[in-house]
Chain A
């Protein structure tokens, strides 16, 4: 069999549980936070639903419109006599509504910042002022325990809902039905109002002063936050509580959904923003902030995560979107447009039943180190692997392959200090990785063996050897500590187990690979140290 050259098989190790799930990898992409200092606590952040997704930040006596492109303030609206609340942009991105501590509700034009409408019926601070999904109405909720729906053109209240017994600090209008209004109050209840019956249709008990409410777009499930708790109610089952979560240490102040309503973000006074998977309401990620989080928002295109904090800090994290993702999203949007030319010619490239398909044979491209391996240039292969910034596991696999071919000495021989440096660096970096230790100790022994004669001639290599030695010593000390811990733990286990023969079973958590490498005694680790000394 004139078989093909088998390219180097890079070892695969199992992922360790609990670290780096796909989820956390995604949320970690929201990086490089930009921190802006505001005058006072940021009470509300709201994203415009139209591109370019600017967002309104309400802090102190002003509402600022930030650009999500430049992260700079585009407009500042400061025509408030007292502390402003709940700056919200209408879904067409043209108007902003905000309440303030005097009970005034104002509508501004985003472009000119002019006050277009004013609503003055509330006598107490208005903490909630939002646009209804019906474009001509707004919702407001105030500390005077009322919820009002206003008609924007006429500046008159359409409906006044009374029923709450304490300050109302949360409210929203259902997305699919502008007649349904949800409100949450400090009287520890969440109420659902219907404009058609002009009254409360459902009351759900949250069990703590409600700080924030939200609703899924289909209007069936309500999420409320208040105290350190998060509760989920099923409206279709008459307000039955579905979940009750308390993952935060302190009061949850703010909530938002991501673009697809598959994740829920909560900000809390305990400095954390947590991300829940709404399938089972498990926390999949959590972000720590330097101050109590007062408000949190995620941009509609899932690229910006903005959190406002109690000390007046505003943190903007941006996720850089790859063009591929943009394309898939665009492709998803373009799908199923019936009647278009694209729809007409779809599927022409797929082969029919009787077609004879000539498969094109792709020529396999070998990696650089594989090309050197193929022509038995072991030293060059190792250099190529170290030079091209391959992951450590590739280099380790290559070294293993060289040992299999009896070519390790050949690969290491004939090097000067410059060409030996990358390998020595690699050893220093990775010798304490339990997965590679055994192998790299072998390599180190061979290297020391070959180059002791010329030791002291190059300061560069000498320094690396010293660092290697220090690293090994440190690791040995660490192993000793581990052993003492294991010893004391075993004593406890022995006390607690009932079996008298001195038999102990312990389930092995770490699976499949290196089951014992990190805990096993490593006499071999000491050998390089000895040789170095």
Chain B
């Protein structure tokens, strides 16, 4: 998912928002954060064939959505049913789009003449988002087919923003140091063609000393806000009298460039954000600033919902935060795959894809210094673990702050995955490099991994691998690390100190032994599946050790070639050891200590299966022609003939086997999970890919249903009095009839009180709440009808329950004579039901009396 490349757009009721995710558009519920619907899901069904850059609600019909894309088309969707209504061909990549309700048939577009391909490349290099667009051209496109469709208005260099004023008079476009204001409603503007630089009546251009990066138009006044590279926000009052000499106000808080600006719909506040990860809320009349700091990642886009209730922020780390405007608390947080948006040079995918055995989630590098747990099937963020805890601060000068890196992660092989080992560090090339091994234990209460032991500089040089001993049973867990300093170390969990009364002895990991072989450098290590044998690859030599006795068991020397082994792995339940150098793949049989078979292959990655003795290899060879071919091969250890061959277009970034609990046949190849070149997950092969997808789809459907339900339940009433007040009375009662029969009414009151305390609406000051006059209708209506229906429903349920119980009693008494006791019990329960029923009646009397009071007051 690429959630935050382009700004999100809210629906008119502010319950959902649209997010451009590469070629698709996701509709996400504000309430639950679940994806409700996906537009443009596939190219075959009429979706966009390139990145969607801009979406906009149809000014004529707020249930329709226009989307513009780099494939040079604009599409009109009915987003309720995800139906494509129309497609408009422009022909050149569209980067910006603006429309206004006063001329619904015209759309203003910024298109770029650069080829899509190059644009795309550049975009990826800068890890997503809008980048400098050379030679932008502003065009007007008529959606009505009768006239000349495309009118070229203006060309500019690298457009960064395009807005139309709220009254539809002016169109503002920014490009580099220029602010262009075009009077589109001047005369019969529609008929006019290109705007020339000298046409002062229609075009005014203002120059700024710094490159403009953000643009917003004041919703009620003639005022434009621009943000520039140096962090300054400038308000331009350039309409009316001040046309030639615009009055400007500048506000400077940001230290880096202003990434985006947004006005609230009443125009009293201006929101700005940038690299500092701080949302600044400017009160325009007083100049007062309010800050929302430490948002986790750089802000790229800010959107204000139409009812001013939410602010949505797109972040650099591929996440969208929706915050409530009243108390500035997080409402919803949606996160995609973070690795796709980090700098891949300083933060490579060094962990690869690691399957967490507990839930089968994928674990990989997230933001620098963190690990992300991700569900590849549902395409869902699970959790983020800060391996290297830090306060993210923005740079003070041009030089970027060197971030920490997570190099390796490994999980213990027991089902519960109790332990996790990580290797992380930071090297800024100036000070002493930091290197840590950290051991984490799973905490059942908080459902996350908690740091147990940190080892400072465990090795003097970089660590090349980190693996767990896979043995089962009651042994203390064991980890082996190999390092460029020539040693490998065996770590084991030990008890430190003595157990005191009631307190267990402190557990910590410590180094058990250190090994080395001549003065060579180990690059890979592997454990046999029963944990009794440790193989460490030193250069082209494989050394075999007993990890318990610390003895060298044997040495396997590769056939003559001087390429060091990069990958080394044992296979589950087989005596084979697979080693890969940069251009060969060897399968060793440890029973005969000989090479069983070998291949000449350029191996990029080698991953063994967790459940069978298969292993998968990605390789690229230039055998045919100059274009390298990328292949994925699945082997069995005995046989040099691959079980499965897949050819892919671009190099896979990472690969692993998916855990598949339902795999039945032993020989079946498990599904293979690939992170493709575009940072999306693909699943290859395997019997159950479709099923998994379907399952995921079902789950998603369920989630959507929940989201919709939550949406429908939400009302002004529930906002005020909490959900419990209008909750299904019968459901609440069923619980209570067994527990507290006497205090039903009292405890009911308390429950609702509890929820009232939690209601977020009350966090806000009273003066921002809706006026009582607008609340009253909803309040009374809801109270009366809801109460009645609940009562009826509860009665119906009660009846059903009673019947059921009586049947049970009959059955039991019929079957056995001696179940009199249970019968009595149930009888008592029945009595209780009746008591509660009476109380219910008492309860229901209250609203009616309330309504009387209210109506009396109203008539007064």
Contact = CB atoms under 8 A, between A and B. Distances in A.
Chains A and B bind each other:
yes
Contacts of A408: 431
Interface stretch (B208-216, B340-348, B450-458, B724-732): B450-458
B2 to A, nearest CB: 20
Nearest to B297: A1
Contact of A1 (B294, B396, B453, B753): B294
A467 B556 CA distance: 54
B396 A6 contact: no
A435 B454 CA distance: 14
A503 B517 contact: yes
B773 interface: no
B747 A354 contact: yes
Given A441-B432, A503-B515, A515 B455 contact: yes
A373 B512 CA distance: 39
Interface in A122-151: none
A249 interface: no
A513 B511 CA distance: 9
B508 A1 contact: no
Interface string A385-412: 0000000000000001101111110100
B428 A403 contact: yes
Nearest to B508: A512
A516 B432 contact: no
B292 A6 contact: no
B296 A503 contact: no
A523 to B, nearest CB: 11
B431 A439 contact: yes
B560 interface: no
B372 to A, nearest CB: 14
B294 A442 contact: no
B597 interface: no
- Which of B457, B518, B555 counts the most chain A CB atoms within 10 A? B457
- Give chain B's interface residue range (CB within 8 Å of chain A): 35 or more
Interface in B795-822: none
A104 B293 CA distance: 87
A356 B750 contact: yes
B390 A5 contact: no
Nearest to A6: B391
Interface string B443-478: 000000000011111101000000000000000000
B393 interface: yes
Contacts of B395: 406
Contacts of A506: 513-514
A2 B513 contact: no
A24 interface: no
Given A407-B396, A515-B458, A516-B460, A5 B391 contact: yes
A520 interface: yes
Given A406-B395, A438-B432, A1 B333 contact: yes
B389 interface: yes
A442 B431 contact: yes
A311 B143 CA distance: 113
A5 B393 CA distance: 11
Interface string B317-351: 00001010000111001000000000000000000
Contacts of B428: 403, 406
B158 interface: no
Of A9, A404, A506, most B-chain CB atoms within 10 Å: A404
A9 B321 CA distance: 27
Contact of A516 (B454, B457, B516, B754): B457
Contacts of B515: 503, 505
Interface in A345-380: 354, 356, 358, 373, 376
A51 interface: no
A517 interface: yes
A494 to B, nearest CB: 13
Interface in B681-695: none
Interface in B269-311: 292-296
Contacts of B508: 14, 511-512
Interface in B515-569: 515-518, 550-552, 555
Contact of A513 (B296, B323, B455): B455
Given A438-B432, A439-B432, A3 B294 contact: yes
A485 to B, nearest CB: 19
A2 B426 CA distance: 25
Given A354-B747, A505-B515, A1 B460 contact: no
B595 to A, nearest CB: 22
A419 interface: no
22 contacts: A1-B295, A1-B296, A1-B321, A2-B292, A4-B294, A354-B747, A356-B753, A376-B393, A401-B390, A405-B393, A501-B518, A505-B513, A505-B550, A507-B513, A508-B510, A508-B512, A511-B510, A511-B511, A512-B508, A515-B455, A515-B457, A517-B457
Interface of A: 1-6, 9, 11-12, 14, 354, 356, 358, 373, 376, 400-401, 403-408, 410, 435, 438-439, 441-442, 499, 501-508, 511-517, 520, 524
3 cross-chain pairs, A with B, having the tightest CB-CB distances, nearest first: A511-B510, A505-B550, A438-B432
